[in-house]
Chains A and B, each alone.
Chain A
Amino acid sequence: MDLISNLSLGLSIALQPHNLAFCFVGCLLGTLVGVLPGIGPTATIAMLLPITLGLDPSTSLIMLAGIYYGAQYGGSTTAILINLPGESSSAVTAIDGYQMAKRGRAGIALAAAALGSFFAGTVATVVLALFAPPLAKAALKFGSPEYFSLMVLGLVCAIALAHGSILKATAMIIVGLLFGLVGADLYSGAQRFTFGIPELSDELNFVSVAVGVFGIAEILRNLQNETDRDVMVKKVTGLWPTREDFRRMAGPVVRGTALGSILGVLPGGGAILAAFASYTVEKRISRRPQEFGKGAIEGVAGPESANNAGAQTSFIPMLTLGIPANPVMALMIGAMIIQGIVPGPNVVNQNPELFWGIIASMWAGNLMLVLLNLPLIGLWVRLLTIPYYLLFPAIMAFAAIGIYSINSNPYDLYTLTLFGALGYALVRFGCEPAPLLLGFVLGPMLEEHLRRAMIISRGDPTVFLTRPISAVLLVIAAIVLAVVLMPSVRRKREEVFVEED
């Protein structure tokens, strides 16, 4: 069978010693940034991306992917032990996880999160292996109008799933799209918004943009209220759940995995949404809904499985269509481009070792993460108390080195300052940074396909509606937009996101 031979190709890549080693490094770093305050997976991957350029493409992407799903594990540790989600998709875990820790069941909560995540990761890997190739095959038939409509749908979903105001999220996407256009025009070669500076004609460095809006803005937000972190549980004991715990975990884990696998594919924050959806479902169908919020193991196992499954299936649109579902995937696409791989449906055929290697490495990585997180939990607990003032100078140093070494271009550092300032101002004014980065990455592609589609159709804009796939995508986008704007949904949406903050 094709699937078996493909997976064994993937395993043969993923199990090569140096790939295993870098997968491990990625998982370790991911857990670390998940646990440490003030730096998330997006900024970390952005910073380390240039450093992986010396590696071969598969190894580099395997390591970066490890950071991403590793952070999902690490984030749950802080959520459970100190009621602070180290990473946004663990916000839900904090609700019941911290309550479990308060009742002396921290070890069991950590085990439930890790084992649930492992199960979800394993299933999501199979889902990815099953669904990605046919989708890539279908995408090969896509022309410019389809790509344009697909990106419009992606951006609409990103707006729908952004926190807070829809108006601001839309404006943030446009800001991103505009900055994405800086540089030489693809068709005419005209310099756009470069002030005649040759260093800018290559377009703004997206690593600078990502580190600016996610890294610097985040450090500044942490400096605003520097406090010591209080770890209530100094020593975690009793990691192994009882038979009763296992029985209560099973259902939520399976349902969370299913929800996460589906929602992860959506653009705009699949893992976070999946965790919320899973929590809501578990609370609704539970025979003991009154226990939720007071340390119900279902409220830890379900959302943790969902966010890990979502984190992994969000690779599907990235690997098959070359379209990012979230900022981390946007960075992965950037990594591929820098490595000379054209992201899109051809990756499966032209770089099978990369495609299947990444998928297989996820399974290996998840196994490593369970081993890293459960027996070594004492180490992570100690890391939780590292004071912030020792961390952020290191973050800044790594960021500067990483950004400068991409092109040896000082302007990339000035871009970092610009986007750090812009990002911090906008975040303080209640805007989400994720839509900006998505817009920034999609801007050039969106324009290219729009212009190409208009040339092909001789200036007839109905081309987007007369081609069936494109029309369907646009109709879905319109429906999503209409649903989000409905007054009842809007109110509900605001409630959900307020709860999260």
Chain B
Amino acid sequence: MQHLIILPVLLPLLAGVTLLIHRGGALTLRRTTNVIATAALVVVGILLVAESSDGVIRYYALGDWQPPFGIILVLDRLSALMVMLTAILALGSLLYACAGDDEQGSNFHGLFQLQLMGINGAFLTGDAFNLFVFFEVLLIASYALLMHGGGKARTHAGFHYVALNLLGSMLFLIALGVLYGTTGTLNMADMAAVIPTLDAGDVGLVKAGALLLLIVFGLKAAMLPLYFWLPRAYAAAPAPVAALFAIMTKVGVYAIIRVYTLIFGEQAGLLANLATPWVWWLALATLALGAVGVLSARDMRTQVAYLILISVGTLLAGVGMESEAALGALLYYLIHTTLVSGGMFLLVDAIAQQRGKAGARIVQSRTLGQPAILGLLFFAGAIAMAGLPPLSGAFGKALLLQAATPAQQVWLWPILLISSLASLIALSRTGSTIFWRASGERTGSSLGRLRGAGVLMLILCAPLMVAFAGPITQFTQATAAQLLDRDAYVQAIIARGATGGDA
């Protein structure tokens, strides 16, 4: 199946366009189409992971223009893993949305698929400018999805989000211009091959370009000085969209991992490991401030948004540690945190709907319609998010703590553990206020079947990831090894391109 690599882009494109054209069609039909397309994406994701697990790096040259000239999509372990993760998260939030959130506007389903196309494209592409284009695709869809349903808070948060990301896109273009002007290529593998051979005179320019890229990716990933948009935007977004956005910060993390291991990694000569010191310190600061944010949040949605911030800090600290073990650990944590925080966004919305007037605010209110089910789910989700055993959060954090060298332990251990403690305190306070300090009659509303399925699917990933921790960590460690083996990546793309193409 040579064309399998491009399916994660083509499938959502076709489904998205069809859904946009038939925006006035029967709701059931649109829902079914979207669910089928997303489920097919899960299957494609699993096939891609299976294909990539042999360790061979494959690429798909669009229009058969061989690298470094044409645009290519690259399939390695990391991109396959990310595509599968996106598809699973999307299926969960889509099921939830089909219970009624999608009726608030006519284009939800079409935009949802286009969003998936942008995310998958960003994970698969092997061309720096193409990465920009896919970033734009996913951003354009996210602008519209964020404001799905309308309302004051959403429009307002939306304008900030749009203006910031437009600035980010411009910085991205400037950075790409600088890198193209100095290296003469946009293909990431080719760029990686050119960087070590640069003249000393060009090094300063390339450094500026590379650090500009860090700002852009940091903005997407919500790294410290650039995260202020996140809590507001995520808290204002409709629940299924916020759940899907859990992968958006990871797109930034992915781009940081990809660019700073492949292009500016160990073997980049004068520019080796250029960004990692920055990433390491900023990540620790993000962790610390995220912990403060979690404790101060007065609204459940904002609280989950700050929990996402903590997870971003944890992930980026893993990137800053510059070791294979840390990369493997952070990839395990990445799978866990994406799925569980997506599930928490859905769960919090389900809880808010059963609380009547109180909504998502952390105050006393009437008893929930189904305190037992929601309480259990919240308990499981909170344990996983805070990183307590026996669920997957503890496992991921333990792996990461273990991977730290003694010099890094001094900083990482206290900050990571204290931020976990802060999330634990904040989540237990929220849980006790909502479930135990409630009084009065039960509200009538109940969790529908579809909503339940969506939440359950994502929260259940936490115990499943512990049960299958062996194979998953094997895969993530192999992924980390593959990521750090820059020469193999360059060989796989440039060498085969030279023999197979018309170059």
Q: A and B: partners?
A: no
